[in-house]
Structure 1
Amino acid sequence: MTAEFGVLGVVAAQVSGRSVDLGHARQRSVLGVLLVEAGRPVPVDQLIDRVWGESVPQRVTNALYSYISRLRRALADAPTVAIQRQPGGYRVTADPQTVDLHRFRRLVAQARNEALDQRATEQYAQALGLWRGEPLAGLESPWLTSMRHVLLRERFAAELDRNDVLLRLGRHAELLPDLAAAVTDHPLDERLAEQSMLALYRCGRQADADEQYRRIRRCLADELGSDPGLALRSLHERILAADPGLMAPPAGANASGARLAAVAAAAPAQLPADVRAFTGRAEELAVLDRLLPTAGGSDTTTSTGTAPTIALLSGTAGVGKSALAVRWAHHARPAFPDGQLYVDLRGYDAEQPVAAADALAWFLNSLGIRGPEIPLEVEERAARYRSALAGRQMLILLDNASSVEQIRPLLPGSGSCLVLITSRDSLPGMVAVHGAERVNLDLLPLAEAVGLLRRLIGARVDREPSAAAELAAACARLPLALRIGAELAATRTDATLAELVVELGDHSRLDLLDAGGDPRAEVRAVFSWSYQNLPADAARVFRLFGLQPGVDAHVDAVAALTGVRAAEARRLLGLLARASLINACGPGRYGMHDLLRAYAGELAAEHDPAPDRRTALTTLFDHYLARSVAAMAALYPTPTAEVGDPDAARRWIAAEWPNLAAICLHGAAHGWRRHAIALAETLFRYLDEGGPVAEAVTVTSAAVTAARAEGDLRAQAQALSNLGRLHRRHGQLDRAAETYRQALARYVGLGDRAAEAGALRNLGSVRWRQGHYRQAAEHYQQALALYQGAGDEAGQADALVRLALVDERLGDQEQAVERLQPALELFAQLDDEYSEAYVFSLIARLRRREDQLELSAARLELSLAAVREMGGRTGEAYVLTDLAAVYACLGRPTDAAGHLRQALLLHRRIGDRASEAEVLNDLGRVLGAAGNPAGARAQHAEALALASEIGDRYELARAHDGIAATYENTDEPDLARPHHEHARELFSALSVPNVPGHAGPGDTGAVNRQPTDQSQHAP
């Protein structure tokens, strides 16, 4: 008898076409977990955690054994199916392809790798046809909820891929209704908007396509504060220009180039420019060609479950590994239509090699994953990266790698990808463990070396063949040295090649450069030859350029480094670029090969006194610090400051961020500690309000290290406070508490009572999040006393509000109002209209007076306009949440839901996971009040998973309580009972006496705002 199983809907089983009774929800949850892992054992502890979460009954193992026994009896008629107990746990022996989820994934993978679009369409139709509704429907636990969202995202990704295929086939008209519905459900998805715009345009609706673009541009601006991406903007311009290339391909067209054209706008294409006058290496290129999926060798598209194809180009420095890799990668692009990723790992840079974590952050951002969504830990980043690449045909070029450890986290898990690595090291571990195909690059054969000179110099090589051969030999037949020698020869038209060879020999008395331990890489003489022919001012720029720790440098930065005007710096950089001693890498930006950087640094040590070198770097760091201060002033202006261009400031920080981070790390380690401290502090608000989360932690940690080395307690305390806030924002509450304690100890040592009060407030905010309300109140009381002693009225008002929120949470609303009244008066005396409006809204919500609520809404709307004008995303998110709470009390759930959705998007962009859980619960309760139990349940389920992950017990309790409410007055009231029980247990453990009522008109339960560690306004 045959068996079929389903999890893409209600968990179900059929044996020979007959439905099997799988029992109650918890028993079906057990089978659902086992089916998701079909064929693999699930450890007992993991099975229990996935099925019950935190609500584990006392005799859980007995319950589990009972459920397993019943499931075995239910499936007894299927002889090929068994639930086996193994040393590793329990395992369903069913063929994974009898489970709809695994069949769905296989069909989607096949469709993504299918060469024929018509066949791909059929496979997508089969895959999507397996869905019967919400996956794992009716089953509740943190893991099941999280898995449900993962599966829904997989379905959406498959639908987007299916849409691309249908558009390629010219089936835009039949696709348009589905696209219109999907755009309504996903108004901020740019890829979906592209598909909809293209379909509208092909249907002759150019105006509607234009309106679609304008709609998503407004949404992105209003809800995320950002503009459409390059791909969407480019498509819009092509539509306005009526680009004929946008029309549907002819019937039957299905070349790989068509697919490349269809996805090129959305696919990352990060390969550096191809190398001018590339010569030779035919044998090595042929070896790489055999790795392509169509070449009969390793088939990178056979299965997403296979290992990726890996090629390793190894050889000495300057031998042309990067040039060969880039040349071949451009040649191979059509085989990788989903894009090409590139990173220079700088593995042999003694100062700034690229860590795997940073490379992963770059790749994830390139794959469309926003900064706040990028995990902090390298293992989690690597897992997210592998998931993002699953089933995608991509080429990943890892340039200048130094070790297997640097590479391993960057390897995809999908056989549809090819990884190309360049390294001076042979990296035997890549071959032995990961099966890499090694291609060793030796010196260019003499004929190819002369051929490269011929392409670079011209007919002079043919007029002096012997001298050309001697020149090639003098350049060690290394492409890097050959190019430098050729550039010099091209500028010395008055000299014969023979004379230049003699001149080069005159410099052979210099010590030869041993690059990478290979005695054949003796290229210092060639570098010296080129360097000695530079004008003195250009030679000085070259030497100092090698000292700067950043990835590259803009003309303005080089001007600061060298003490010349920008125009003069541009002229001298042009000389160096023409001599191949630096390379242009963007408008006004220049980089340097690592061998040349090392050589320039040696020359600087020889010719530039240490005080001059230090002055140059100090001036450079001063330049970056001053520009950072100006950029932050433009992003977050004050009433008395001159307003700058915030868009230009944001672009400058984004372009210079690798250099700014490098300066912080270099400064902390090499004696510019004050710059590291000041730069990290200056940029902190940008980093805190949606900047790169992990890099923010790295830079702020460097500031802590620098402050400790300086013995500066105040700088330590400030940097620790900032670091604690980053940990809190990312939901790492225990780590945040420990960091805040360290900051508090330093402020106590300084005797700074006001700062000590702020540290106590911050520590209280973490205890609040963890549900330790009595401890939070103690910290707030201590802070209040210190503020009173210092005569700090703003601090007193802030502490009173926080204490009032504790009172309200613990059920004493009268005491809460008594504390809020003097806080309100203090904020009024201080002319702090923002905080005054917030506290007034708190009092109005606690007293439930409609006139005060209406006035609160008006005042908060003014606050919202003001905070948006100031550009503070965090403040905007909080005011939106406050307004939503007031609107809910006034019986305006639609307005409340709209504001909460905006706040949710902002918190996600910022990366404030704790606030995200809170707003999800608020939105769930508002939707429930509006008569949308399914929508409410979805929001509470997300909050449940997130609160469970970060340890926010109050939001976890609210999530259970909210889910229970969605099942009441339905035909499944029994599903409400376990959630009610969990909520009561959690509220009781938190000493919260009154379980919040379910949201209805005029009822939002507990006051929404959670205390934070910000001091710009009341919590």
Structure 2
Amino acid sequence: MTAQFGVLGAVEAQIAGRPVALGHARQRSVLAVLLVEAGRPVTVDHLIDRVWGEDAPQRATGALYSYLSRLRQAVAEAGIGIERRPGGYVLTADPQTVDLHRFRELVTRGRSAESDRSAAELITQALGLWRGEPFAGLDTPWLASMRQSLWNERLAAELDHNDVLLRLGRHGELLASLSAAVAEHPLDERLAEQLMLALYRSGRQADADEQYRRIRRCLADELGSDPGAGLRRLHERILAADPALAATGETREPHLQPPARLAVPAQLPADVRAFTGRTRELATLDGTLAPPGGDEPPLTVVLLSGTPGVGKSALAVRWAHRVREAFPDGQLYVNLRGYDAEQPVAVGDALAGFLTALGVPGTEIPPGVEERAGRYRSELTGRRMLVLLDNASSVEQVRPLLPGTGSCLVLITSRDSLPGMVAIHGAERINLDLLPLADAVVLLRRLIGGRVDREPSVAEELAAACARLPLALRIAAELAAARTDVSLAELVGELGDHRLRLDLLDAGDPRAEVRAVFSWSYQNLPADAARVFRLLGLNPGESLRVEAVAALTGTDAGEARRLLGVLVRASLVHTGRGGRYGLHDLLRAYAAELAAEHDPEPERRAALTRLFDHYLAGSVAAMNTLYPESPDAGGDPEAARNWIEAERPNLAATCTYAAAHGWYRLAIALAGTLFRYLDAGGPAAEAVAVTTSAVSAAVAVGDREAQARALSDLGRLHRRQGRLDEAADTYQRALTLYADLGERAAEAVALRNLGSVHWRLGDYRQAADHYRRAWSHYRRLGDDAGQADASVRLGLVDARLGDEAQATKRLRSALALYTGLGDRFSEAYVLSLLARLSRQPADLERAVAQLEQNLAVVRQAGDRTAEAYVLTDLAAMYARDGRLAEAAAHLRRALVLHRRIGDRASEAEALNDLGQVLRAAGDAAEARSQHEQALVLAREIGDRYEEARALDGAGGPQQDLAQRLFADLAVPGAPSW
């Protein structure tokens, strides 16, 4: 019998057209994992991790075996098995019986189809397989991540489909969807071009002109920039009624564009348990959803203000969950920690977090707060989103986080009234008062149960003793629930007695009442749990896993988990996703106050030292797994990557805190350990912050060598992100330090790095000077690899300046050194450079053979950076050999990788290379598009040579400017294949 499986919607299975009962959600989650990996083994550990995440029970393995057994019986009728093999469990179904794998196969065929008509049909079939949200009704961290990945795959297919339909002349049916997309993304020039073209081809030249004027105004207002060259040229051609703009029907090759980003963040914290009352406030909040008629309303800002513990955050989160469907483009959330004396969230960090959630790659996040705020507003323009800014302390902390569009709603919580938000931004303030006594009693009833009804007057006394503050009520209720043998009257008496003994900060202040309840609950903790609570207040990060708590407290994981359970039951600690534990900001402050009072400073410092050492050890282990020094190194790379990603905010906070509070050596070590991971694809802003902390820590201890290393790392980050002037300055500082220290090997590396920046800036003589100095150092040190590297770089300068004979001489010298060292990767690179200068087919064949071997090796190792470079080198060889389709495919893959790792300079170079290949293949229009993208990027980063290449490739009057640029650079012109 035939079987069909689905994950692009609810997880389902059918045998001979009949639905199969798959059991409860956890069991269906197991099947979902096996279906995603259909035909491939999945280990027991991976199954448990993907089905339970951090919340796996102790008997997860036994439960998993039970689920597998039931699923095996469910699909056995179709002759499909779930087999145990050496690599794990395998679902033996044909992948093509799973809608996900059929979708991917159809899209792949569509992208490589020989005709646009075939491509359109195939991608239409692929999109038709979707039934709704992937894995609908299932919720585990792994499935959530996979779900978002699949949404991205669908978006990529939709955009490819869009391009194909435009080339087929089916612009009329695209008008509605393109108009909607442009409304959501009014600053996206590619979308604007598509809509303008569709409008023009539909006989609406005036509307196309108006669309251009609209995006030009938006770009000027939001970014202070003009439309790019491609958009301007299309506008000129539309005004001139260029006949070439008419729909030409089907083309032979799709040349599909890379997909645009689309992210729908869902960052709201979990909804509040046993939420009670606030009916009037919820109704007021609901009223903010009804915008006035007519044009888009001004930005709606709502401010919830009130005393600490009154339930501002709970109300905001409850309402946000209630109305989330009204914000289909997503919900953003940040706890600004505005009243945390040690670790308030910086505005720039909050903006970086929002931009990351909105799908902006880390390398595209600007360095400055104002630039980040502008990009943030641009990303939100036209999108219907809810932005929840929790625990704000000032208007200055909030203002840069306000969107610039009335399609969004901003909800702010603050202890203060923030009058500037009302006066300047027109915020609607809702002052949150204490819970009415009746509601306070209802909350106690929902938390404690029938005891409230048996002692109603005492319950009212308890509510009054808690100042009718929800946070205090919850803590008191948990204490009452844990002491069922004690009457409510006795508990209220205890609280009253304790209040008299407590040294209140300000009698009559509700905050003092909350402090009294905190103290009451704290005093009833066992001594070991009380100590854990105090130490948790020292953590500079947001939340902790059990292992980190064990390190902080000097216990083992089992004991830490037990004590955390005590604190959770007392409502002093809350649990979050991924098995993490955190504190309300008031409780954090209270815990830190207690720690300062009861734990001597050496003990507090020792606790933080243990925590920081835990993070350093974990980071070292993870990095050794991800980047092993030997092929025999063990470990699970996926687990290591997941650990770093989960702990990344804590690791960054630790670096910053350690550098500011005297753990200088630890900050240096942790930043140095994390650098390679952050540099290879972590958030750029975070990478810069961590590395800058290392620089300041090294300065603090007078460690000039560590300072130089951190500056070198910082220079690399700047160079990768296209900030070449900053990179040059930072590398120069590192070079000066290494020279003073007499560290000749490190000085040589710094000289090479500085030379590479001048190379990108088009200052070839300065670059050559640095390379020659580096070569001299390497020669004195007897470093053959360094000499070879410097020789290659000098050869590149010679070739760029037109001295091919000298370039060939240097490259052959480097080749001999690499051959002697057995460095096959570098040898292949030099062979490819020599093949570009040579006219001998044998040189070309040798280079191709070695590069193809290298490509297989780097792909197996998962080294994306190396893969991108090898693909680019191979593409050059294929192009020289006339294998243009293969060259273009390799360059497209290299572009994807360059963008992923944030190498903007290499991205510009690859775009120009692809433009040359496409022009040689006869696709002038697509070639021009690639060169125009390269032009924008090259100008942004200051790469004048790639700017000249882009102008030359764009053709027309731009070529005169290109020739002037080439002349200024003293280079003969663009390279030929």
Among 586, 593, 616, which residue is 1:595 paired with?
586
The Cα shift of 1:685 comes to 1.0
Residues 404-462 of structure 1: per-residue CA shift (max 9 Å, x gap): 12211221111111111101111111111110000111222222222221221122222
Provide the residue aligned with 1:79 in structure 2.
none
The answer to whether the 8 A contact 1:768-1:776 is kept is yes
Among 839, 859, 884, which residue is 1:848 paired with?
839
> Tell me, what secondary structure is at the counterpart of 1:523?
helix
Matched, 1:512 2:504: yes
- The alignment yields a C-alpha RMSD, in angstroms, of 3.1
Matched, 1:288 2:285: yes
Residues 356-391 of structure 1: per-residue CA shift (max 9 Å, x gap): 222222222322333333333322322222222222
Residues 758-797 of structure 1: per-residue CA shift (max 9 Å, x gap): 1111111111111111111111111111111111111111
Matched, 1:989 2:961: no
The answer to whether the 8 A contact 2:656-2:667 is kept is yes
Question: Counterparts of 2:513 and 2:294 in 1: how far apart (Å)?
Answer: 45
Residues 530-556 of structure 1: per-residue CA shift (max 9 Å, x gap): 111112221111111111111100111
Matched, 1:924 2:915: yes
Provide the residue aligned with 1:185 in structure 2.
256
Question: Counterparts of 1:485 and 1:342 in 2: how far apart (Å)?
Answer: 29
Among 784, 792, 811, which residue is 1:801 paired with?
792
Matched, 1:349 2:340: yes
Provide the residue aligned with 1:691 in structure 2.
682
The Cα shift of 1:513 comes to 5.5
Count of paired positions? 769
The answer to whether the 8 A contact 1:373-1:908 is kept is no
Among 903, 911, 933, which residue is 2:924 paired with?
933
Question: Counterparts of 1:705 and 1:874 in 2: how far apart (Å)?
Answer: 29
Question: Counterparts of 2:341 and 2:251 in 1: how far apart (Å)?
Answer: 54
Q: Which amino acid in the other structure matches residue 501 of structure 1?
A: V
The Cα shift of 1:873 comes to 2.2
The answer to whether the 8 A contact 1:513-1:523 is kept is no
Question: Counterparts of 2:402 and 2:489 in 1: how far apart (Å)?
Answer: 49
Provide the residue aligned with 2:958 in structure 1.
979
The Cα shift of 1:684 comes to 0.9
The Cα shift of 1:112 comes to 7.5
Question: Counterparts of 2:654 and 2:717 in 1: how far apart (Å)?
Answer: 20
The answer to whether the 8 A contact 1:848-1:889 is kept is no
The Cα shift of 1:597 comes to 0.8
Among 467, 470, 482, which residue is 1:476 paired with?
467
Q: Which amino acid in the other structure matches residue 319 of structure 1?
A: V
Question: Counterparts of 2:860 and 2:661 in 1: how far apart (Å)?
Answer: 40
The answer to whether the 8 A contact 2:276-2:443 is kept is yes
Provide the residue aligned with 1:753 in structure 2.
744
* TM-aligned CA distance change 1:443 to 1:776, over 3 Å: same
> Tell me, what secondary structure is at the counterpart of 1:317?
coil
The Cα shift of 1:899 comes to 1.0
* TM-aligned CA distance change 1:477 to 1:179, over 3 Å: farther
Q: Which runs of 5+ in 2 are unaligned?
A: 1-171, 186-194, 217-223, 236-248
The answer to whether the 8 A contact 2:708-2:734 is kept is yes
> Tell me, what secondary structure is at the counterpart of 2:860?
helix
* TM-aligned CA distance change 1:843 to 1:680, over 3 Å: same
Among 520, 534, 537, which residue is 2:525 paired with?
534
Residues 270-300 of structure 1: per-residue CA shift (max 9 Å, x gap): 222221121222222222121112xxxx44x
Provide the residue aligned with 2:12 in structure 1.
none
Task: Map 1:764-843 onto structure 2 (within 5 A).
Answer: 764-843=755-834
Q: Which amino acid in the other structure matches residue 924 of structure 1?
A: G
Provide the residue aligned with 2:413 in structure 1.
422
- Of the structure 1 ranges 739-748 and 333-342, higher mean CA displacement relative to structure 2 is found in 333-342
The answer to whether the 8 A contact 2:313-2:390 is kept is yes
The answer to whether the 8 A contact 2:230-2:929 is kept is no
Provide the residue aligned with 2:575 in structure 1.
584
Q: Which amino acid in the other structure matches residue 276 of structure 2?
A: T
Question: Counterparts of 1:705 and 1:615 in 2: how far apart (Å)?
Answer: 22
Matched, 1:725 2:716: yes
The Cα shift of 1:740 comes to 0.6
Question: Counterparts of 2:202 and 2:503 in 1: how far apart (Å)?
Answer: 71
Task: Map 1:282-361 onto structure 2 (within 5 A).
Answer: 282-293=279-290, 298-299=291-292, 303-304=295-296, 306-361=297-352
The answer to whether the 8 A contact 1:450-1:472 is kept is yes
Provide the residue aligned with 1:146 in structure 2.
228
Task: Map 1:29-48 onto structure 2 (within 5 A).
Answer: none
The answer to whether the 8 A contact 1:544-1:561 is kept is yes
> Tell me, what secondary structure is at the counterpart of 1:329?
helix
The answer to whether the 8 A contact 2:316-2:413 is kept is yes
Task: Map 1:112-261 onto structure 2 (within 5 A).
Answer: 129=202, 146=228, 148=230, 185-186=256-257
The answer to whether the 8 A contact 1:740-1:762 is kept is yes
Provide the residue aligned with 1:672 in structure 2.
663
Question: Counterparts of 1:954 and 1:126 in 2: how far apart (Å)?
Answer: 36
The Cα shift of 1:636 comes to 1.7
Question: Counterparts of 1:550 and 1:700 in 2: how far apart (Å)?
Answer: 18
Matched, 1:616 2:611: no
The answer to whether the 8 A contact 1:275-1:326 is kept is yes
Task: Map 1:65-84 onto structure 2 (within 5 A).
Answer: none
Question: Counterparts of 1:546 and 1:184 in 2: how far apart (Å)?
Answer: 56
Question: Counterparts of 2:234 and 2:335 in 1: how far apart (Å)?
Answer: 35
Among 947, 952, 961, which residue is 1:961 paired with?
952
The Cα shift of 1:698 comes to 1.0
Q: Which amino acid in the other structure matches residue 292 of structure 1?
A: L
Question: Counterparts of 1:182 and 1:442 in 2: how far apart (Å)?
Answer: 66
Residues 284-327 of structure 1: per-residue CA shift (max 9 Å, x gap): 2222121112xxxx44x8544x4211100011111100011111
The answer to whether the 8 A contact 2:184-2:381 is kept is no
Residues 569-591 of structure 1: per-residue CA shift (max 9 Å, x gap): 11211111111001001131111
Question: Counterparts of 1:733 and 1:187 in 2: how far apart (Å)?
Answer: 26
Among 261, 264, 289, which residue is 1:267 paired with?
264
Question: Counterparts of 1:568 and 1:671 in 2: how far apart (Å)?
Answer: 30
Q: Which amino acid in the other structure matches residue 877 of structure 1?
A: A
Q: Name the TM-score, length of structure 1 as normaliser.
A: 0.72
The Cα shift of 1:643 comes to 2.8
* TM-aligned CA distance change 1:851 to 1:110, over 3 Å: closer
Residues 10-37 of structure 1: per-residue CA shift (max 9 Å, x gap): xxxxxxxxxxxxxxxxxxxxxxxxxxxx
Question: Counterparts of 1:337 and 1:546 in 2: how far apart (Å)?
Answer: 37
Q: Which amino acid in the other structure matches residue 939 of structure 2?
A: S
Q: Which amino acid in the other structure matches residue 989 of structure 1?
A: D
Q: Which amino acid in the other structure matches residue 510 of structure 1?
A: L
The Cα shift of 1:804 comes to 0.7
Question: Counterparts of 2:251 and 2:959 in 1: how far apart (Å)?
Answer: 39
Q: Which amino acid in the other structure matches residue 377 of structure 2?
A: R
Provide the residue aligned with 1:205 in structure 2.
none
Question: Counterparts of 1:463 and 1:420 in 2: how far apart (Å)?
Answer: 40
Question: Counterparts of 1:503 and 1:180 in 2: how far apart (Å)?
Answer: 83
The answer to whether the 8 A contact 1:111-1:123 is kept is no
The answer to whether the 8 A contact 2:771-2:790 is kept is yes
Residues 992-1011 of structure 1: per-residue CA shift (max 9 Å, x gap): 1x2236xxxxx42xxxxxxx
The answer to whether the 8 A contact 1:883-1:899 is kept is yes
The answer to whether the 8 A contact 2:715-2:726 is kept is yes
The Cα shift of 1:525 comes to 1.6
Question: Counterparts of 1:572 and 1:754 in 2: how far apart (Å)?
Answer: 51
Question: Counterparts of 1:150 and 1:473 in 2: how far apart (Å)?
Answer: 68
Q: Which amino acid in the other structure matches residue 256 of structure 2?
A: D
Matched, 1:951 2:945: no
Task: Map 1:336-735 onto structure 2 (within 5 A).
Answer: 336-508=327-499, 509-512=501-504, 520-735=511-726
Q: Which amino acid in the other structure matches residue 551 of structure 2?
A: A
The answer to whether the 8 A contact 1:668-1:706 is kept is yes
Among 841, 847, 851, which residue is 1:860 paired with?
851
Question: Counterparts of 1:851 and 1:106 in 2: how far apart (Å)?
Answer: 51
Question: Counterparts of 1:152 and 1:417 in 2: how far apart (Å)?
Answer: 32
Q: Which runs of 5+ in 1 are unaligned?
A: 1-99, 114-121, 154-177, 192-265, 965-975, 998-1002, 1005-1019
* TM-aligned CA distance change 1:181 to 1:538, over 3 Å: farther
Question: Counterparts of 2:592 and 2:906 in 1: how far apart (Å)?
Answer: 48
The answer to whether the 8 A contact 1:636-1:872 is kept is no
